[in-house]
Chain A
Amino acid sequence: MQKLSTAQIKQLHDHLIRQGASDALLYELLDHLICEVEHYMWIGLPFEAALDKVLLEASHTAVHYLNQTYQTAMDADAMRGATLDDIVFEFRNKYYGAYDLRQSYRLSLLNALLLGIGAFLMLVVWVAAFNQRSFSYLSPLGLLWLVGVSCVGVAVGSWFLHNLRQRYMEIS
């Protein structure tokens, strides 16, 4: 019996994600659809025709209905450790993007704040130094400049580390 390639499986996987299959449902339904496509290919259909036939059945309505029947509320243990994001996204697709955005919201806010303060201080010092025509690291202006630079440095560094970590998580 012919097996689907990884790219073909990914096509089915992406379709299910687009139709909004929840985590609980996704892998079971994916396995089911792969089996069906392989069956149709085995009786002689080309991949595209088999895929169309199967996807017709796995419509948004069907997946949505299944999602609802698969919903089970969190038990007490999970509830105790749950954040607001976990509760809001309990029955929603976490891989769509909004969950990640919310998860990193505090960090993004802090980075933006540091970057803003740092850039502002640097601008102020630069303008003041330009007017006085003199600049020394040991003056109050120099101190402000150093604070500004370090704020920007910390913000950029933390943003870079966060991105690096995310990319690493996607690969593994």
Chain B
Amino acid sequence: MEPSANEFLRGTLKTIVLKLLAEQGRMYGYEITQAVKERTRGQITLTFGALYPVLHKLEQEGLLVTESQEVEGRLRKYYSLTPGGSQVAVQKVSDFEQFMEAMRILLLPPPSLAPGM
């Protein structure tokens, strides 16, 4: 289960991050991993090695902006969506829902494909 779960995760990580930021407004990296873990009841755990490249890429694409703030004596980097990022978030989530619907249909037992049986 674990390796293939990671494989599925890789394609949806952007969507997850955008969706969470659209809901919460402003989050830092560790907060995102914890939010994902809590919501999926521990089924999906993000490592920093998977999360930060995605955050950085989204920032490069102009979908996220960052601000650094000092919390408890150390710098913390907060991410939030740009207006363009909010649009992409909505788009991605609806695309993903369509995809999941298609997958559900695909996983159903075929209705009456085998006339001979």
A66 at the A/B interface (Cβ < 8 Å)?
yes
CA distance A165 to B66 in the complex (A): 34
Contact A36 B30 (CB under 8 A): yes
Contact B52 A34 (CB under 8 A): no
Contact B52 A69 (CB under 8 A): yes
CA distance A163 to B71 in the complex (A): 34
Q: Which of B8-16, B73-81, B99-107, B108-116 contacts A (4 or more CB under 8 A)?
A: B73-81
What 1/0 flags go to B44-65 for Cβ under 8 Å of A? 0001110011001100100000
Residues on A with beta carbons closer than 8 Å to the beta carbon of B72: 3
A167 at the A/B interface (Cβ < 8 Å)?
no
Cβ-closest chain B residue relative to A25: B52
Contact A31 B56 (CB under 8 A): no
Tell whether A66 pairs with B28 under 8 Å between CB atoms, given A9-B74, A27-B74: no
Contact B30 A66 (CB under 8 A): no
CA distance A87 to B5 in the complex (A): 41
Contact A27 B75 (CB under 8 A): yes
Contact A57 B47 (CB under 8 A): yes
CA distance A64 to B36 in the complex (A): 25
Range, interface on chain A? 20 to 34
A62 at the A/B interface (Cβ < 8 Å)?
yes
Contact B77 A57 (CB under 8 A): no
Q: How far is the CB of A13 from chain B (nearest CB, A)?
A: 10
**What total of A-B pairs shows CB separation below 8 Å?**
50
Tell whether A69 pairs with B53 under 8 Å between CB atoms, given A27-B74, A30-B74: yes
Residues on B with beta carbons closer than 8 Å to the beta carbon of A36: 30
A77 at the A/B interface (Cβ < 8 Å)?
no
A172 at the A/B interface (Cβ < 8 Å)?
no
Residues on B with beta carbons closer than 8 Å to the beta carbon of A9: 74
Q: Which of A4-60 contact B (CB under 8 A)?
A: 9, 25, 27-36, 39, 57-58
With beta carbons under 8 angstroms apart, the residue of A34, A69, A70 that contacts B74 is A34
Interface residues, chain A, with chain B CB atoms under 8 Å away: 3, 9, 25, 27-36, 39, 57-58, 62, 65-66, 69-70, 72
Q: Could you give 28 example pairs across A and B, Cβ below 8 Å?
A: A3-B72, A9-B74, A25-B52, A27-B68, A27-B75, A27-B77, A28-B29, A28-B75, A30-B74, A31-B28, A31-B30, A31-B74, A31-B75, A31-B76, A31-B77, A32-B29, A32-B30, A32-B48, A32-B52, A33-B48, A39-B34, A57-B48, A57-B49, A65-B49, A66-B48, A66-B49, A66-B52, A70-B52
Q: A28-B29, A66-B49, A66-B53 are in contact. List 19 more A-B contacts (CB 8 A).
A: A27-B75, A27-B77, A28-B77, A29-B52, A31-B30, A31-B71, A31-B74, A31-B77, A32-B29, A32-B30, A32-B52, A34-B74, A35-B30, A36-B30, A39-B34, A69-B52, A69-B53, A70-B52, A70-B56
